Amino acid sequence: MEGLGMYITKGTKVIVYHTLVLKEEQKRKLRVFEMSVPRRICGITRRDRRCNVDIKQDLGINVDIVERLQRRRLAYFGHVTRVSNDKFQNILLHGYGSGQRTRGSPK
């Protein structure tokens, strides 16, 4: 990584970390959304008192949405690590950067 002098601060790395890690509240909200869509597809309301597991089995949904999201993130991480070192994704992952930002608002 020669020529990439400036490092991203620890604070910025922590912010990136927090955006990549799912918190339990976010997982819960994703699961609630995940069940609302199949219920609408089947035309089933909460008053029908059908089990989530039964609805998922009827539609052939085997993988939890949180699990699917984590798998896709890991697949993307694997893709980024295989990319050459001078590509933007790899530079951002490892926190290297060079040059200075221009003054003013971004265009």
Query: Is 56 in the same domain as 41?
Result: yes
Query: Is 42 in the same domain as 56?
Result: yes
**Residue 100 included in any domain:** no
Query: Is 80 in the same domain as 53?
Result: no
Residues 10-29: b if buried by 16+ CB within 10 A, e if exposed: eeeeeeeeeeeeeeeeeeee
**Residue 71 included in any domain:** yes
**Residue 32 included in any domain:** yes
Query: Is 57 in the same domain as 68?
Result: no
Q: What is the pLDDT of residue 96?
A: 61
Q: Which residues of the chain have pLDDT under 50?
A: 1-5
**Residue 18 included in any domain:** no
Q: What is the pLDDT of residue 99?
A: 67
Query: Is 71 in the same domain as 82?
Result: yes
In which domain, by residue range, is 49 found? 24-61
Q: What is the pLDDT of residue 103?
A: 80
What is the distance of C-alpha 103 from the center of its chain? 31
Q: What is the pLDDT of residue 18?
A: 72
Total tally of structural domains belonging to the chain: 2
Q: What is the pLDDT of residue 4?
A: 36
Query: Is 51 in the same domain as 69?
Result: no
Q: What is the pLDDT of residue 69?
A: 86
Query: Is 70 in the same domain as 45?
Result: no
Q: What is the pLDDT of residue 6?
A: 56
Query: Is 51 in the same domain as 76?
Result: no
